[in-house]
Amino acid sequence: MIALLVDDEKHVRNALRMLINWEDHGISQVFEAENGEEAIEIIEREKPQIIITDMMMPVRGGVELLQWLQANEPTAKSIVISGHDDFSLVRHTIQYGGTDYILKPIDPDQVNEALAKAVASWKKEEHERSRSVERNIEMNRIKPVYWDRQLSGLLDGPGQNPDAVRDLRTDWGLPAETASCRIAILSMVTMETKLKNKFGRNTDLLFFSLINICNEFLHRRSRGAAFRYWSSNEIVLLIWGEPDNVPALLGDINEGIRTALHSRLDFGLSGGHAFPDGLPAAYREARDALRQRNLLSRGGWIHEAVRPEGLQPRRLRFSDFEEAIRTAIRSGSAGEITSAVQAWFDGVRSLSAITLEQIEQWRGEADTMRGRWIEDFFPDGPEELLAELRSETGSGQTIVPLNEQGTLSLADWQQELTHSFIQLSKHLLKRQHREKNVIYDIAKYLQTHYHEEISLQDIAGRFFLSREYISRKFKQEFGTNLSDYLGSIRIDKAKLLMMNPNLRISQVSEMVGYGDEKYFSKVFKKMTGCSPNEYRKANQPIM
What is the predicted pLDDT for the residue at 395? 45
Averaged pLDDT score across all residues of the chain: 85
Of the two residues 176 and 308, the one the predictor is more confident about is 176
The answer to whether residues 454 and 493 belong to one domain is: yes
Residue 97 inside a domain? The answer is yes
DSSP string, 298-332: ---SEEES-PPTT--PPP--GGGGHHHHHHHHHHT
The answer to whether residues 297 and 390 belong to one domain is: no
In this predicted model, what pLDDT tens digit does every residue of 232-258 receive, in sequence order? 778 999 999 899 999 999 999 999 999
Residue 313 inside a domain? The answer is no
The answer to whether residues 179 and 233 belong to one domain is: yes
Residue 501 inside a domain? The answer is yes
Residue 436 inside a domain? The answer is no
Across residues 162-184, what is the average pLDDT?
88
- Burial readout 346-362 (b: 16 or more C-beta within 10 A, e: otherwise): eebeeeebbbbbbbebb
What is the predicted pLDDT for the residue at 390? 66
Q: How many domains does the chain have?
A: 4
Confidence of residue 391 (pLDDT cuts 50, 70, 90): low
Residue 415 inside a domain? The answer is yes
Which of the listed residues 430, 460, 478 is the one where a domain comes to its end?
430
Of the two residues 37 and 312, the one the predictor is more confident about is 37
The answer to whether residues 463 and 340 belong to one domain is: no
Say which residues have a Cβ less than 8 Å from residue 31's Cβ, sequence separation at least 6.
Answer: 2, 3, 4, 5, 42, 46, 48
Of the two residues 267 and 163, the one the predictor is more confident about is 267
197: domain CATH number is: 3.30.70.270
Question: In degrees, to the nearest 5, what angle opens at C-alpha 90 toward C-alphas 84 and 91?
Answer: 140
Answer yes or no: is pLDDT of 60 > 70.
Answer: yes
The answer to whether residues 95 and 174 belong to one domain is: no
Of the two residues 232 and 425, the one the predictor is more confident about is 425
The answer to whether residues 243 and 167 belong to one domain is: yes
Residue 57 inside a domain? The answer is yes
What is the predicted pLDDT for the residue at 138? 57
The answer to whether residues 455 and 348 belong to one domain is: no
Confidence of residue 22 (pLDDT cuts 50, 70, 90): very high
Domain encompassing residue 530: 449-538
The answer to whether residues 300 and 327 belong to one domain is: no
In this predicted model, what pLDDT tens digit does every residue of 254-307 receive, in sequence order? 999 999 998 889 999 999 999 988 999 999 999 999 888 888 877 788 998 665
519: domain CATH number is: 1.10.10.60
The answer to whether residues 453 and 475 belong to one domain is: yes
d(CA 276, CA 228): 18
Note the pTM of the prediction, 2 decimals: 0.51
